[in-house]
């Protein structure tokens, strides 16, 4: 049986991870076949516990206490018979992260005050700041903290102590000596008050409600003792059974009392009303329980009978986790290989917030550290996108989980019927440029860790042809083409020169050939719509042909005028 002292509630320290991812693929977007997450598919946010370490540094562990202030793991231990050259009994102080021994307090006073090597059977309560109150056989109540050379201790008068736990005040503990329940001073072991019952085995304290629950497994009943009067206030009947008792524990949050009986756990509320019964795996028997007020969960260690000749016995135990409000299973049961009752009862300690759980294995002489894990839970989905070809695309997905999830982006080319991994898309940032061949493809992020795999919703990518224009005034409008130049008019033919000589006997002047006008075609202007809206070319010189034609016409007029003057200047021939 493993008594628990109410610990200071704390928040879960499990790490949460958020992955902000920018999607991309190769320019072609061609997928290849690849695997996604690490675990099996699981509902998002599924909680599980997994074994991460085993500490074989503290002898044969009998009880565990995780100190609420110093956070150190205190272990009460017996000696391991197979290590004859070393005596591991005593109070061990471990680093809960790696099991490294910080110190061992092996010496404690005997009944006459003489120091000697003492086994520690139960850890009763934490001392303020650091240290623990503990019980050591046969009647010793001791105190020690990390680094002490020896424990302080005193012996309770009377019969051997059969069970002990935290008291109703910080300076006292409660001890059972068979059917006698006593309140004892820690420093002196002096009995302050006591009550004798018909029978008894184990008990638990509900300090918040001033109640002590004392179980009498042989008579299948429970006594509710009022702390103020130290007298029995009520008797509660327990279910009939074979008579094996595992533990008696009180949930400090609700006041409910949990009793391990045979292969079941019977739960009553703070008044003694039956709430329900929990069953284990096969023949497993409940041997320890711990509570966490932050998660509102109870942690129960079940040990196998250790007799493979019995049906259902496989030598493996189980850790189960239940919601204290409705007793429903909060986590899938965790197998504890080799945990059985043949060499002693297991113990359990829960880190506030439930991030870590410690279970002792008296068979192997070790402590198992289990950590809380959560399957990936998608917190941000990628959104559909519609872009022009050649545009850079960014899709974002986020997920949280413990341990931190890995990610693998996937693509579907058949409307989500099948999925393939995007090559290389396993880092937080991944960028690609959309091609027309990517249009209609769907993308999703697959997150995975040890607990399972979770996937985001699919985002559909639509890729369009870029819009391109020519000509125009630079605002992306329609193109404008320069006009064609006009055709120049044809020059008149020059007049023929006179063949007759002048009156002074000079030769006649030849006529001037007429010029032929020709208009130049105007250049075609063009505007390409774009970011800077630059106009290329224009309609300049479109009227060049008209100008040439006008000059040619003027030349004809001048030539004609000259011909008339010349005719007038010629003398008239006689005779």
CA 527 to chain centre: 55
Euclidean distance between CA atoms 85 and 311, whole angstroms: 39
Backbone angles phi, psi at 315, to 5 degrees: 75, 0
Question: What is the per-residue pLDDT across 535-557, written as a single tens digit (0 to 9) for each?
Answer: 333 333 333 333 333 333 443 33
- Give the model confidence (pLDDT) of 229-255 as tens digits: 999 999 999 998 877 888 999 999 999
Pairing of the two strands 385-388 and 459-464: parallel
d(CA 63, CA 92): 11
The model's pTM is 0.73
Angle at 416 between CA 410 and CA 419, to 5 degrees: 35
Q: How many CB atoms lie within 10 A of CB 10?
A: 16
At 57 the pLDDT is 95
Examine residue 54 and say whether the peptide bond preceding it is cis (omega within 30 degrees of 0).
no
Say yes or no to pLDDT of 27 above 60: no
Question: Looking at residue 416, what is its pLDDT?
Answer: 96
| CA distance linking residue 122 with residue 138, whole number of Å | 12
Which has the higher per-residue pLDDT, 107 or 498? 107
* Selection from 546, 530, 529, 526 nearest residue 538 by Cα: 526
The answer to whether 240 touches 220, Cβ cutoff 8 Å, is yes
Looking at the chain, the whole-number percentage of residues with pLDDT higher than 70 is: 74
Q: 353 near 293, Cβ under 8 Å? A: no
Query: What digits encode the pLDDT tens for the residues 192-212?
Result: 999 999 888 899 999 999 999
- Enumerate residues 6+ apart whose C-beta is below 8 A from 293: 9, 252, 253, 352
- What is the Cα–Cα distance from 226 to 244, expressed in whole angstroms? 26
Instruction: Tell me what the mean pLDDT of segment 521-529 comes to.
Output: 35
Q: In which band, very low, low, confident or very high, does the pLDDT at 281 lie, cut at 50, 70 and 90?
A: confident
pLDDT digits (tens, 9 = 90+) for 342-397: 999 999 999 999 999 999 999 999 999 999 999 999 999 999 999 999 999 988 89
* 300: nearest Cα among 267, 343, 253, 342: 267
> Whole-angstrom Cα distance, residue 491 to residue 494?
9
Give me the pLDDT at residue 559, please. 37
Instruction: Tell me the two tokens of residue 462.
Output: 């639509």
Classify the C-alpha dihedral 171-175-180-185 as positive or negative: negative
- Please write the tens of the pLDDT for every residue from 158-186: 999 999 999 999 999 999 999 999 999 99
């Amino acid at each position: 049986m493993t008594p628990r002292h109410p610990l200071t509630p704390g928040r879960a320290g499990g790490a949460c991870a958020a992955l902000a991812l920018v999607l991309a693929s190769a320019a072609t977007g061609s997928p290849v076949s690849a695997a996604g997450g690490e675990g099996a598919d699981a509902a998002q946010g599924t909680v599980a516990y997994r074994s991460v370490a085993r500490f074989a540094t503290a002898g044969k562990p009998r009880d565990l206490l995780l100190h609420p202030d110093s956070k150190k793991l205190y272990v009460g231990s017996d000696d391991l018979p197979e290590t004859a050259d070393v005596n591991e009994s005593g109070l061990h102080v471990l680093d809960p992260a790696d099991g490294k021994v910080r110190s061992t307090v092996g010496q404690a006073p005997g009944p006459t005050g003489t120091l000697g090597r003492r086994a520690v059977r139960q850890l009763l309560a934490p001392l303020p700041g650091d240290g623990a109150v503990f019980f050591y056989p046969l009647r010793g109540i001791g105190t020690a903290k990390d680094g002490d050379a020896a424990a302080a201790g005193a012996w309770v008068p009377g019969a051997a102590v059969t069970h002990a736990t935290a008291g109703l005040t910080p300076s006292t503990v409660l001890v059972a000596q068979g059917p006698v329940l006593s309140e004892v001073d820690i420093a002196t072991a002096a009995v302050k008050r006591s009550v004798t019952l018909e029978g008894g085995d184990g008990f638990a304290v509900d300090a918040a409600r001033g109640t002590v629950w004392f179980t009498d497994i042989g008579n299948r009943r429970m006594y509710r003792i009022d702390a103020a009067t130290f007298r029995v206030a009520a008797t509660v009947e327990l279910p009939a059974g074979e008579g094996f008792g595992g533990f008696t524990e009180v949930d400090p949050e609700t006041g409910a009392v949990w009793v391990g009986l045979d292969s079941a756990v019977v739960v009553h509320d703070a008044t003694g009303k039956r709430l329900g019964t929990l069953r284990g795996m096969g023949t497993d028997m409940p041997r320890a329980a711990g509570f966490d007020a932050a998660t509102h969960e109870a942690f129960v260690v079940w040990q196998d009978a250790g007799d493979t000749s019995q049906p259902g016995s496989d030598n493996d135990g189980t850790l189960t986790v239940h919601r204290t409000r409705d007793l429903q299973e909060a986590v899938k049961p965790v197998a504890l290989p080799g945990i059985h009752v043949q060499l002693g009862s297991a113990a359990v300690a829960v880190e506030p917030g439930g991030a870590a759980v410690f279970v002792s294995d008296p068979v192997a002489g070790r402590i198992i550290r289990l950590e809380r894990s959560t399957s990936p839970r998608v917190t941000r989905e990628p959104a559909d996108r519609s872009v022009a070809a050649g545009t850079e695309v960014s899709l974002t997905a986020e997920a949280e989980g413990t341990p931190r999830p890995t990610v693998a982006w996937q693509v579907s080319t058949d409307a989500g019927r099948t999925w393939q991994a995007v090559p290389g898309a396993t880092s937080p940032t991944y960028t690609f440029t959309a091609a027309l061949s990517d249009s209609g493809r769907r993308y999703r992020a697959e997150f995975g860790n040890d607990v399972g795999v979770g996937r985001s919703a699919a985002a559909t990518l639509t890729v369009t042809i870029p819009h391109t224009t020519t000509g125009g005034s630079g605002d992306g409008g329609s193109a404008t083409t320069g006009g064609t130049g006009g055709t120049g008019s044809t020059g008149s033919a020059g007049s023929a020169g006179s063949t007759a000589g002048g009156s002074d006997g000079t030769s006649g002047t030849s006529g001037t050939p007429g010029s032929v006008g020709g208009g130049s075609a105007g250049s075609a202007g063009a505007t390409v719509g774009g970011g800077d809206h630059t106009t290329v070319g224009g309609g300049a010189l479109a009227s060049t042909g008209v100008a040439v034609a006008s000059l040619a016409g003027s030349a004809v007029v001048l030539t004609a005028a000259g011909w008339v003057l010349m005719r007038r200047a010629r003398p008239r021939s006689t005779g």
